[in-house]
Amino acid sequence: MKTGFLFAGALMLATTAASAQTLRIGLLDDPDLLDPAPGKSFVGRIVFQSLCDKLVDISPDLKILPRLAVSWETTEDGKVITFKLRDGVTYQDGEKFDAASVKYNIERDKTMPESIRKSDLASVDSVDVIDPLTVRFNLKKPDSTLLAALTDRAGMMVAPEAAKQAGAKFGLNPVCSGPYKFVERVQQDHITLARNPNYWNAKAFSFDKIVFRTIPDSTARLESLRSGDLDIAERIEPTDVKELEAQKEFKVVGVTTLGYQGLTVNVANGPASKAPIGQDKRIRQALSLAIDRQGVMDAVFDGQFSPAGQPVPPVSPYYSDKFPPPTRDLEKAKALLKAAGVEHPVINVRYTTSSRAQKVMEVVQAMAAEAGIEIKLISTEFATQMKVQTDGDYEISFIGWSGRPDPDGNIYSFYVCGGGLNDSHYCNKDVDAILNDARLTTEVAARKALYEKFDAIALDELPIIYFYFEKWIWGSTAKLQGFVPNPDGMIRLEGVKLAQ
Amino acid sequence: MVPYVVRRVLTALPTIVIFACFVFLLQKLLPGDPVLAMAGEDRDPATIAALRIQYHLNDPLPVQFLRWAGDALRGDLGESLRNHDSVLHLITQKLPVTLELALLSTLFSVLIGIPAGILAAAKKGSVWDNLARGTALWGVSIPTFWFGIVLIIIVSVNLHLLPASGYAPISEDPWQNIRTMILPAFVLGNAQAGILMRHTRSAMLEVLRQDYVRTARAKGLPELRVVMAHAFRNALAPLVTVTAVLLGQLLAGAVLTEQVFSIPGFGKMLVDAVFNRDYAVVQGVALCTGVGFILLNLLADVAQLLLNPRLRSS
């Protein structure tokens, strides 16, 4: 009997220990406001992943998965999408999740002054509540990118009553419907979340507490993992991978991101575009051919990242095998420069201040010199680079894009005439027509054919020289089980646990 | 002494006003745009225009400054553009951390720098002197972030003696607080100890040359008593000023050390705020640091008065 008690006691202790687990995640940056509407930071999205549930999610192979919406149907003309919602879901403050709250959220995203979700939801004209568990999105025109947008912040549902009361300050004390609820935050230090016992799928989440810690220095983040102060660290430096892999107490997993790194060329944005590289595509082609992309990857990133030749990564169903990354061809590069009548062009390249960008550009500078191209490097702090880029005060800007699951997100605004992100001011009516068609086309093969038509033009004219695809690299304790890397870089905790 | 302190406080006020203007103008000179930073990667032009109006960023600079100054006088330092938290709240969250780190580092630097300086001066030209000067040079020249990482690898990763990073408020977990603060405070203190050692050494050498020291020695006083009671007491006055300046520098945050040890002090916040063009936060922290610096100088001057009777009569 006594032994029985002891055994039960030990069992209880063991289960308490197991269930009282905390997961400590090291982030590279400090998230901004914890409100999905004005939220802009990448690391903020990692926190939202546990804090705010969304209508739909995205799988590692970029398929749309049900989440708060269990199913959806699009009408023949593509202008109406009807979502069936999950029953019995409540927000973390007890408010019921229903069609009316979906309507509130979409309208909040579209009208709140600070919201930067407006462009994600630009195609949504209105939202109708059909019944408590059915909601209808009426679109201005068919939009094949909308579902992908709803897998991110535009599809995250915040508790309407709490949001109405807090207004713009909602992010200081967010209330959503995710598996973990907000506990506390110290800026630039940590964010703590605690288990939401009322979550509809609570049993799939094994941790009681999640602590996100901001450790911007990559060496410090790695050492915090190695000393046992962290369980997972995001964005491990590519050059640290081999060393960490060699230690059996740790694991390293990686997956190619949805974004790209590239050289944006100013082709028509103000006087700086009058430089030869902005005016003659042959010089841009020559520069692209002068770069040994794989060589740069090996020299700077220990071969962890991969060369790019188009705006979408290989994981996307819209990646085209017809446009592989260009291989280095110095003879052809020199011939192109000769044909352009500028055998020794001098090009100013701006890059954002970071040791990584600097190393990459120094290698590129040496490679380009072998083709007769002189590159002058100008290091610029990020906010300044954004400003000079929009103002057109640059010839080439070495800049990346974090990437979107739908190819439109990696292409459209960078290429259409007057596009919001089109800092090179490239404008080609044929390209506009193709990209607008692709937005209206939902069938994958037909859409892919359109993007290949686009690639044929864009990769010839090269307002953006695609350079390489980065990889998300996570380091974790070897005890971590069930973590599935996703190309969107998020940390999804469903089914993840720490072995005892 | 009270009139002296009142006079000093009154003369500090214009300094603070000029300082606030200066910081305000300097950050407006920075290229870049806070709204562009707020609008995120998508940079929707309509959102940008609306935000610029909402945060009065189209107003003329003097209007913007007067609005800020008026609010600041009423105790409202504004709101962070990045996360809508009140700047006062952010400062009260970070100030204790920064103060603790600054005080502990100064403690380390005083404990290392002053005895080393005294020893070097008392044994001028000896092995001890060279050793102390060499160590001081090493302390001043060694980059804090590198030293920090090396200490983390040795003390935290290999020996598992102290945590590699993180911070626990003293009110919640004093033991963990001390454990996380030792390494960063030591790294910073080490860098400053070198400076303090050199100042101590030269101040002591100056005093040790004085006639009254010779007299003390001639009286047959033990050397320790000559050095500590006669010489050091008189060398102390300039050291108080140097220590106050060193402490003041730490009030603005120690960015690199904070980064390496993930200490949530002023440094990281200030750098993030500058990068995001979060004007209100930069302004608030700069003001707070400036006032702190002026207060410290005032305290140092009062301490001088207490230490040096000759100053009191003038």
Q: Are residues A290 and A437 in the same domain?
A: yes
The per-residue pLDDT of chain A, averaged, comes to 93
Contact B165 A386 (CB under 8 A): no
Helices vs. strands in chain A: H and E counts, helices first: 16, 21
Model pLDDT, residue A7:
44
Smallest Cα distance from A216 to chain B, Å: 7
Q: What is the mean pLDDT of residues A383-405?
A: 91
Contact A223 B153 (CB under 8 A): yes
Smallest Cα distance from B136 to chain A, Å: 26
Report how far Cα B108 is from the mean position of its chain's Cα atoms: 14
Within a domain: residue A235?
no
Q: Is the pLDDT of residue B32 over 80?
A: no
Percent of chain A topping pLDDT 70:
96
> Of B43, B55, B92, B97, which to mutate for an interface test with A (greatest number of A Cβ within 10 Å)?
B43
- Comparing alpha-carbon positions, the chain B residue that sits nearest to A383 is B32
Q: Is the pLDDT of residue B118 over 50?
A: yes
Q: Are residues A447 and A478 in the same domain?
A: no
pLDDT tens-digit series, residues A441-465 = 888 999 999 999 999 999 999 999 9
Helix-strand-coil split of chain A, %, nearest 5 = 35, 25, 40
Higher pLDDT, B42 or B26: B26
Report how far Cα A383 is from the mean position of its chain's Cα atoms: 19
Higher pLDDT, B231 or A285: A285
Smallest Cα distance from A141 to chain B, Å: 20
Model pLDDT, residue A10:
43
The CATH number linked to A297 is: 3.10.105.10
Q: What is the mean pLDDT of residues B293-309?
A: 84
Model pLDDT, residue A17:
40
Contact B42 A114 (CB under 8 A): no
The per-residue pLDDT of chain B, averaged, comes to 87
How far is B102 from B258, CA to CA, in rounded Å? 11
A-facing residues of B in 169-228 (CB < 8 A) are: none
Q: Are residues A275 and A390 in the same domain?
A: yes
Band of the pLDDT at A8, cuts 50, 70, 90?
very low
Q: Are residues A152 and A12 in the same domain?
A: yes
- Tell me whether A215 touches chain B (CB under 8 Å): yes
CB-side exposure of A32: number of CA atoms within 13 Å? Answer: 24
Within a domain: residue A188?
no
The CATH number linked to A167 is: 3.90.76.10
Q: Are residues A438 and A464 in the same domain?
A: yes
Q: Are residues A122 and A28 in the same domain?
A: yes
Thinking of the domain B87-312, which architecture would CATH place it in? Orthogonal Bundle (1.10)
Of B37, B39, B259, which has the smallest distance from its Cβ to A216's Cβ? B259
Contact A220 B31 (CB under 8 A): no
> Of B28, B48, B153, B262, which to mutate for an interface test with A (greatest number of A Cβ within 10 Å)?
B262
Model pLDDT, residue A202:
94
Band of the pLDDT at B314, cuts 50, 70, 90?
low
Contact B259 A30 (CB under 8 A): no
Band of the pLDDT at B309, cuts 50, 70, 90?
confident
CB B77 within 8 A of CB B71: yes
How far is A462 from A285, CA to CA, in rounded Å? 7
Q: Does the interface predicted TM-score (ipTM) exceed 0.85?
A: no
Within a domain: residue A196?
no
Q: What is the mean pLDDT of residues A213-229?
A: 92
Contact A114 B160 (CB under 8 A): no
Higher pLDDT, A430 or B257: A430
CB B265 within 8 A of CB B254: yes
Q: What is the mean pLDDT of residues A189-211?
A: 95
Within a domain: residue A63?
yes
B-facing residues of A in 49-78 (CB < 8 A) are: none
Model pLDDT, residue B313:
63
Which residue segment(s) compose the domain that A73 sits in?
3-177+474-498
- Tell me whether B270 touches chain A (CB under 8 Å): no
Within a domain: residue A408?
yes
Contact B261 A187 (CB under 8 A): no
Model pLDDT, residue B167:
86
Domain count for chain A, please give it: 2
Residues 6+ apart with CB under 8 A from B60: none
Q: Are residues A363 and A459 in the same domain?
A: yes
pTM of the model: 0.87
Of B33, B41, B164, which has the smallest distance from its Cβ to A402's Cβ? B41
> Of B29, B35, B36, B44, which to mutate for an interface test with A (greatest number of A Cβ within 10 Å)?
B44
Lowest mean pLDDT among A90-99, A478-487, B255-264: B255-264
Model pLDDT, residue A4:
45
Model pLDDT, residue A20:
60
Q: Are residues A324 and A451 in the same domain?
A: yes
Lowest mean pLDDT among A248-252, A448-452, B65-69: B65-69
Within a domain: residue A368?
yes
Which ranges of A212-280 would DSSP assign to H, the alpha helix? Answer: 218-226, 241-245, 276-279
Contacts of B37 in chain A (CB under 8 A): 383, 386
Size of interface A-B (CB pairs under 8 A): 142
- Comparing alpha-carbon positions, the chain A residue that sits nearest to B264 is A189
What values do phi and psi take at A400, rounded to 5? -115, 175
Q: Is the pLDDT of residue A18 over 50?
A: no
DSSP H or E run through A398: strand A396-401
How far is A156 from A48, CA to CA, in rounded Å? 8
Percent of chain A topping pLDDT 90:
84
Report how far Cα A243 is from the mean position of its chain's Cα atoms: 27
Model pLDDT, residue B164:
87
Q: Where are the domains of chain B?
A: 2-73, 87-312
Contact A40 B40 (CB under 8 A): yes
Of B42, B164, B276, which has the smallest distance from its Cβ to A229's Cβ? B164
Contacts of B160 in chain A (CB under 8 A): 227-228
- Comparing alpha-carbon positions, the chain B residue that sits nearest to A171 is B83
Within a domain: residue A206?
no
Percent of chain B topping pLDDT 90:
29
Q: What is the mean pLDDT of residues A416-426?
A: 92
pLDDT tens-digit series, residues B245-289 = 889 888 876 888 888 888 888 888 888 888 888 888 998 988 888
Of A171, A172, A420, which has the smallest distance from its Cβ to B43's Cβ? A420
- Tell me whether A228 touches chain B (CB under 8 Å): yes
pLDDT tens-digit series, residues A343-388 = 999 999 999 988 899 999 999 999 999 999 999 999 988 888 888 8
